[in-house]
Structure 1
Amino acid sequence: MNISGNTIFIPGATSGIGLALAHQLRAKGNTVIVGGRRTELLDTIAAEGSGLHTVQIDTTDAASVATAAREVLDAHPDLNVIITMAGIMRVEDWSTPAGFLETAEQTIVTNVLGPIRLIAAFIEHLRSMADATIMTVSSGLAFTPLRATPTYNASKAAIHMLSESLRLQLAESSVRVVELEPPAVRTALMPGHEENAFAMPLDDFVTEVIGLIESQPEATEIQVENVKFLRYGEARGDYAQVVATLNHLDPHGS
C-alpha cells in the first residue's frame, strides 16, 4: 500500500486506533472517510476542521453497509482503499451459556461478518481500480489466546485466515490484501484498557504503523515490534510460554 495519494474509507474510526490512523493518513496526503454508528461522534469529527469526511455506518446491519457503500462511492468514486477497522472485544464466561452466548454471537457478527459485508460491498469497485488495497484488522490474539476473550480470539484468527485466502484469490488482480495485526493498545476497546501499563500507547502504535506502511509498501502483514511476541510464538517454539505469559500462568501448569 502506498502511503499517500489514496482515497481511504475506514469504518469504525470514530475513536481509538481507527481515528488516530485516519488523522495520520490524512496528514500523509490521503483523502480519508471515517465511518461509525454514532452521528454525534461523526458530527464532532466533521466540525473539527481536520479534513476528514464522515459517513454513518453500522457494520452489523447489512442494509446500513450497502447504503454507506453507495454514499461513499457516489461522493468518492476514486476510492481505492478500505480498512475494516470496526470491531468489539468482550469478556466471556463459558461456564454457562447465559454467560457467553449472546456476547459470542455479537462478536462474530461485528468482527467477522462485518468485514465480510464491507469487502463484498466494495470488491467490485476496488477491482476496477488500477491500484487498490483491502486492509483487514486482526490482532496478536489471532495467534496467542487471551483466556478471558475466547470469541474475540477466534474472530481475529478468522480474519487472519480470511486475509490469507483473499490474498490468494486476488493475486492476479489490482487489489492487494494487507493485514494489520495490533498488539494490546491503550484504547477504550475494553474497560480499563486505556490505563493498561502493558498495552502500547496509541500514538506510538499508529506512528509505527504509518512508518511501516511507508517503508514497506509491499508488506502483506503490518506488525509493530510489540506484536511479534504473540505472532511468532509457535514459529519460535515457545508458544506455551507465550500463552502462559499473556495469561499470567505458570508455564508448567502449576
Structure 2
Amino acid sequence: MNLQRSTVLITGGTSGIGLELVRQLTKIGATVIATGRDLIKLTETQKEFPKIHIFQSDVSDAESIRKLYYKVSQQFPDLNILINNAGEMRLLDLQDTTPSLENITREIDINLSGLIQMTHQFLPLLAKQPSAAIVNVSSGIAFMPFSVAPVYSASKAGVRAYTQALRLQLKDTSVKVFEMIPPGVKTNLQKDWVLPTDSNSSLTMEADKMVKIAIKGMQQNKPELYPTLIGVIRWASRIVPGALINFGHKEFERFKQLNIKANNQTK
C-alpha cells in the first residue's frame, strides 16, 4: 500500500502508539489527521508536527463521531486510511464495587464500541477511494485474558474478532483491513497505575519499533502487523494456554496487595 500519497486519520493521536504513528507517517509524507479528546494535547502535537491537521473528538460518544465525520469528509474527501488507535487500559479488581455501571464498561466504550462506530461511520467514504484501508489496533492480550485488566482484555478480544469479520466482508472491495497487534508497549496507558511496570521487561517494546513494524507491514499488504514476540504469545496461547494465563495472573495478585496497602495508608 502506498502510504506516501495517503490521507490518514488517527484516533488517539496525541500519545503512545498514536503519536508515533503521527511522527512516522508525517515523515513518510502522508497527509495526517490526528484526533483526541484533549484539545491542549492536540495543539501541542500540531506544534511539534505543523503539517498535521487536528480535530477534537471522543470515540466513546456517537454524536462526537458524527460531527467528526461531517468535518473530515468535507475537508478531506480523499481520506483513504482510518487507524482506530484510541484506547484505554485499567487495572481492575472485579470484586471492587466502587465503579458505577456506566464506568465499569469504559474500555468497551472506547476500545471496542468506539472502534466499531468509527468504522461504520467512515466506511462509505473509504469505499469510494481506489485504494483504502482500516487499521484496528488490538493487543497481544487478545490471545490471552489478562486478569488484572479484565475489561481491557474483553475489549481487545472483541477488536480481533470484529477485525477478522470485517476483513472477510470487505475482501472484494478496495478497502484493506489490517490488525496491528502490539505486545506491551511503553505508553501513557500505564501512567495512573498503582502497579508499576517493568521498563526492562522482555515482554514490552518501544512504541517507535512497533510502529515501524506496522508501517512496513502495511506497505507490504500484510493483514496482521506484529513483532516476533506476538508470534510467541500466539503459539503459547494454543499450546500451553493455562500456563500463559496463570503467568499473567501473578500481576493481579501484586495489584491486589498494592491496592490493599494504598487503601490502608489513606485511612
Structure 1 residue runs of 5 or longer lacking an equivalent are 250-254
Q: Which of residues 190, 206, 209 is equivalent to 2:211?
A: 206
TM-superposed deviation, 1:99 = 5.2
CA contact (8 A) 1:12 1:18 kept: yes
Structure 1 residues 9 and 156 mapped into 2: Cα distance closer, same or farther (>3 Å)? same
2:13 alignment partner, SS class: coil
Residue matched to 2:200: 197
Structure 1 residues 44 and 101 mapped into 2: Cα distance closer, same or farther (>3 Å)? same
Residue matched to 2:168: 168
TM-superposed deviation, 1:139 = 0.4
TM-superposed deviation, 1:134 = 0.7
Structure 1 residues 39 and 85 mapped into 2: Cα distance closer, same or farther (>3 Å)? same
TM-superposed deviation, 1:12 = 0.8
TM-superposed deviation, 1:15 = 0.8
Q: Distance in 1 between matches of 2:169 and 2:217?
A: 25
Q: Distance in 2 between matches of 1:27 and 1:142?
A: 30
Q: Distance in 1 between matches of 2:47 and 2:22?
A: 15
Q: Is the aligned partner of 1:241 residue 2:243?
A: yes
Structure 2 residue runs of 5 or longer lacking an equivalent are 252-267
Q: Is the aligned partner of 1:98 residue 2:98?
A: yes
Give the root-mean-square deviation of aligned CA atoms.
1.9
Residue matched to 1:114: 114
Moved more, 88-97 or 182-191: 88-97
2:211 alignment partner, SS class: helix
Q: Is the aligned partner of 1:231 residue 2:234?
A: yes
TM-superposed deviation, 1:248 = 4.0
CA contact (8 A) 2:11 2:35 kept: yes
Structure 1 residues 213 and 175 mapped into 2: Cα distance closer, same or farther (>3 Å)? closer
Residue matched to 1:252: none
Q: How many pairs are equivalent?
A: 246
- CA deviation profile, 1:54-85 (whole Å, cap 9, x unmatched): 11111111111111111111111110000001
**Identity, % of aligned pairs?**
34
1:189 alignment partner, SS class: helix
Q: Distance in 2 between matches of 1:151 and 1:196?
A: 23
Residue matched to 1:33: 33
Residue matched to 2:11: 11
Q: Distance in 2 between matches of 1:194 and 1:32?
A: 31
Q: Distance in 2 between matches of 1:204 and 1:172?
A: 32
